[in-house]
């Protein structure tokens, strides 16, 4: 179910496995760590479904490439900031009305498979 006022259609990018510097501890800042990213972009896909034309939809390959470039070149202290930045990238692409981003850091906590931060952001009115 979509958020109120957000298109119900979704494009998913699942389990994007990347490496970056993220964390506050000195050992986390020395070497790149694994992160797992899941993105759900809300967009009105009806027209693309009718026309079968890439120009009428969100170019998810372009989104993926932009996310990879940002994440692999980043050096954030907080997973929250990384998730926020990924959401900003997604919303900068035409047609994306809202986005849900989950960033997980496998092995960040002892005895836990992963720790994750999830954010939901909508395009600003008039943007």
| Three-class SS state of 6 | coil
Quote the distance between the C-alpha of residue 34 and its chain's center.
15
Let me know if 64 is a catalytic residue: no
The catalytic position among 6, 33, 41, 105 is 105
30 backbone dihedrals φ, ψ, rounded to 5°: -80, -40
Rounded distance, CA 10 to CA 20, Å?
A: 27
Tell me the catalytic residues: 105
């Amino acid at each position: 179910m979509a958020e109120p006022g957000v298109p119900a259609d979704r494009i998913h990018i699942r389990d994007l496995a990347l490496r970056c510097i993220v964390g506050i501890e000195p050992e986390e800042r020395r070497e790149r760590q694994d992160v797992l990213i899941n993105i759900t972009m809300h967009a009105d896909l009806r027209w693309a479904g009718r026309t079968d034309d890439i120009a009428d939809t969100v170019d998810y390959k372009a989104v993926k490439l932009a996310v990879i470039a940002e994440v692999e070149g980043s050096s954030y202290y907080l997973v929250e900031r990384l998730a926020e930045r990924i959401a900003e990238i997604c919303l900068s692409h035409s047609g994306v009305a809202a986005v849900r981003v989950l960033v997980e850091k496998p092995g960040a906590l002892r005895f836990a498979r992963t720790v994750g931060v999830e954010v939901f952001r909508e395009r600003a009115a008039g943007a």
